């Protein structure tokens, strides 16, 4: 199953960020993903394979419109 990730989606990760939050907002997609921690606004870059393994679920899709 292919999952489509879009800029603005909020995802829950398997591991937590050092601030304690496990929710991240996608700010860049492609071969690398740039994520912004919802808890502390810190940015993290992950390669696509590592990102796809680390995602638990999509909590909120980007607002359409």
Asked whether residue 50 is assigned to any structural domain, the reply reads: yes
Question: Given this model, what pLDDT does residue 63 score?
Answer: 72
Asked whether residue 23 is assigned to any structural domain, the reply reads: yes
Residue 54: its H or E element: helix 48-54
On whether the CB atoms of residues 62 and 8 are closer than 8 A, the answer is yes
* 44 vs 27: CA distance, rounded Å: 10
Asked whether residue 4 is assigned to any structural domain, the reply reads: no
User: Model's pTM, two decimal places?
Assistant: 0.88
Backbone angles phi, psi at 14, to 5 degrees: -70, -40
On whether the CB atoms of residues 23 and 12 are closer than 8 A, the answer is yes
Asked whether residue 19 is assigned to any structural domain, the reply reads: yes
Asked whether residue 5 is assigned to any structural domain, the reply reads: no
Residue matched to tokens 């492609």: 30
pLDDT tens across 32-60, in order?
999 999 999 999 999 999 999 999 999 98
Asked whether residue 1 is assigned to any structural domain, the reply reads: no
pLDDT tens across 11-32, in order?
999 999 999 999 999 999 999 9
Q: In total, how many domains does the chain have? A: 1
């Amino acid at each position: 199953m292919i999952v489509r990730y879009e800029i603005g989606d909020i995802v829950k990760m398997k591991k937590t960020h050092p601030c304690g939050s496990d929710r991240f907002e996608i700010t860049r997609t492609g071969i690398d993903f740039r994520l912004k921690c919802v808890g502390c606004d810190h940015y993290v870059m992950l390669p696509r394979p590592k990102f796809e393994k680390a995602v638990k679920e999509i909590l909120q899709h980007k607002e359409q419109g």
